[in-house]
Amino acid sequence: MNKRKIINDPVYGFISISSDLLYDLVDHPYFQRLRRIKQLGLADVVYPGALHTRFHHALGAMHLMGQALKALQEKGHMIWELEFEAAQAAILLHDLGHGPFSHVLESVMMPGVAHEDVTLVLMKDINRQMNGRLDIAIQMFNGTYPRRFFHQMISSQLDMDRMDYLKRDSFYTGVIEGSIGADRLIKMFDISGDQLVVEEKGLLSIENFLHARRLMYWQVYLHKTLLSAQAMLTQILFRARELTAAGHDLFATPDFARFLYEKYTLADFDSQPDLLSSFNALDDNDVWASVKGWRLHSDPVLSTLCKMLLNRQLFKIQFFNAEPGEEILGPLRAQLKQSGVGETQIPYFLIKGETTNSAYAKEQDPIRVKMKNGDLVDIADASDIPTIEALTKIVRKYYVCWGKNVSLRG
């Protein structure tokens, strides 16, 4: 049977699955699960087109990896067929460890567990099933493969993951200012001493890439309305756990129930073999189905929050440059009390948070530019104006969100 396949993709036109291994990985239930996990979680409350999945993103990143490796080959770098396939496999699987509504859910259910670590557990499990066909891919993923640039293309400040998600998120949200010239960037890639570098004439393209990333952060990933919806879902999950802990009975899909009653650590994946299969059964539908079920629950906090989220009656939210104190929170608390929200219920309807972003982190593995004279220079030093320098500034914003029109009065 011919396992080569071509998949339509509005972003790149067509994505080719170019080997049997890749085909088998796409076909694997762990990977098919990603069809049911949206890349941007709740972002469609702001951008109704932002419904693309981690499945599609992973395929896109695999496509870009193929393009990038071909570009490097055309510049004369030797890349073995096995390495080519392994790099594509690694980027294809790099998001396996994400649960639904990743950042929200993990903070409640598996606090402190990095999704990269779960990915590694899952990759190893597939590798076992496939008798070691993922050995090199796993080395590339965890950074132990000798030729360092493969890892950098999988995970760094200029990796295929970021390239695809910026391009894809910009495309599906319709925030066209966040669009990047991935094609051109890729053609500017080179290798120097086994490190991924960018040719000097790609300098403006990287600047553009970093600016696009900053824009996407504030316009999309940290959009006020999205932060508000995320805060609400977080509170819903906290309340659900609180109720189950207190012995209340809660509707939940079978897969989700387990995670509602327990908190798990990374070590649990080893000690409880069936945890892996439970995790792999989770997707967005469990969360939504539960939220929908809970809107009918007798607990007014839980049902109110669920109804509001479902009907997109979101908390009001406001940003602050400094941490907001009682002069802000006091009046809001008073207002909630007047609406019938009790003292112990207030934390569910008045949330304080903070969020930070810097478009380029200089202290991390830097983006290296190969100047025409052969020097390797950090991108922040290569630009002729201090614009990249400006992008390294960490911007911190505080926010308060609250249920303005909530009423808990019988």
- d(C-alpha 230, C-alpha 276), whole Å: 26
Residues 181-200 within binding reach of its own copies (CB under 8 A):
181, 183-184, 187
Residues 120, 138 contacting (CB under 8 angstroms):
yes
Residues 1-40 within binding reach of its own copies (CB under 8 A):
4, 6-11, 13-14, 27, 29, 32, 35-36
Question: At its nearest, how many Å lie between its own copies and the CB of residue 112?
Answer: 27
Question: At its nearest, how many Å lie between its own copies and the CB of residue 143?
Answer: 29
Question: At its nearest, how many Å lie between its own copies and the CB of residue 183?
Answer: 5
Residues 247-276 within binding reach of its own copies (CB under 8 A):
251, 253-255
Listed residue (137, 254, 215, 209) closest to 367, CA to CA: 209
Question: At its nearest, how many Å lie between its own copies and the CB of residue 410?
Answer: 20
Using CB under 8 A, which of 19, 179, 278, 355 touches its own copies?
179
Using CB under 8 A, which of 19, 77, 139, 218 touches its own copies?
218
Compute, in degrees rounded to 10, the torsion defined by CA atoms 219, 223, 224, 226: 150
* Helix, strand, coil percent content, the chain, rounded in steps of 5: 55, 10, 30
Residues 37-76 within binding reach of its own copies (CB under 8 A):
44, 46-49, 51-53, 55-56, 59, 74
Question: At its nearest, how many Å lie between its own copies and the CB of residue 172?
Answer: 6
| Span interacting with its own copies, options 180-188, 225-233, 237-245, 373-381, rule CB under 8 A | 180-188
Question: At its nearest, how many Å lie between its own copies and the CB of residue 139?
Answer: 28
Which parts of 276-365 are beta strand (E)?
Answer: 316-320, 350-357
Using CB under 8 A as the binding rule, whether residue 164 contacts its own copies is answered as no
Phi-psi category of residue 358: left, alpha or beta, with phi > 0 → left and psi -120 to 50 → alpha: beta
Q: Which is nearer to its own copies, 248 or 337 (CB)?
A: 248
Residues 283-302 within binding reach of its own copies (CB under 8 A):
283-286, 288-289, 292-293, 296
Listed residue (83, 54, 231, 217) closest to 148, CA to CA: 83
Q: Which is nearer to its own copies, 183 or 381 (CB)?
A: 183
The interface mask with its own copies, positions 308-327, x = CB under 8 A, is --xxx---------------
Using CB under 8 A as the binding rule, whether residue 376 contacts its own copies is answered as no
Listed residue (316, 344, 321, 319) closest to 332, CA to CA: 316
| Span interacting with its own copies, options 91-99, 120-128, 151-159, 208-216, rule CB under 8 A | 208-216
Count, residues near its own copies per rule CB under 8 A: 75
Using CB under 8 A as the binding rule, whether residue 204 contacts its own copies is answered as yes
Using CB under 8 A, which of 79, 215, 266, 376 touches its own copies?
215
- The distance from CA 261 to its chain's CA centroid, rounded to whole angstroms, is 25
CA distance from start to end of the chain: 64
Q: Which residues does residue 395 pair with via DSSP β-bridges, in sequence order?
A: 357
Listed residue (395, 396, 368) closest to 380, CA to CA: 368
For the record, the structure tokens of 407 come out as 């009423």
| Span interacting with its own copies, options 81-89, 155-163, 204-212, 343-351, rule CB under 8 A | 204-212
Question: At its nearest, how many Å lie between its own copies and the CB of residue 323?
Answer: 16
Q: Which is nearer to its own copies, 116 or 320 (CB)?
A: 320
Look-up of token digits 């469609």: 44
Q: Which residues does residue 316 pair with via DSSP β-bridges, in sequence order?
A: 402
DSSP string over 47-96: -TT---BHHHHHHHHHHHHHHHHHHHHHTT----HHHHHHHHHHHHHTTT
Most distant CA atoms of the chain, gap in Å: 75
Q: Which is nearer to its own copies, 136 or 282 (CB)?
A: 282
- The distance from CA 155 to its chain's CA centroid, rounded to whole angstroms, is 13
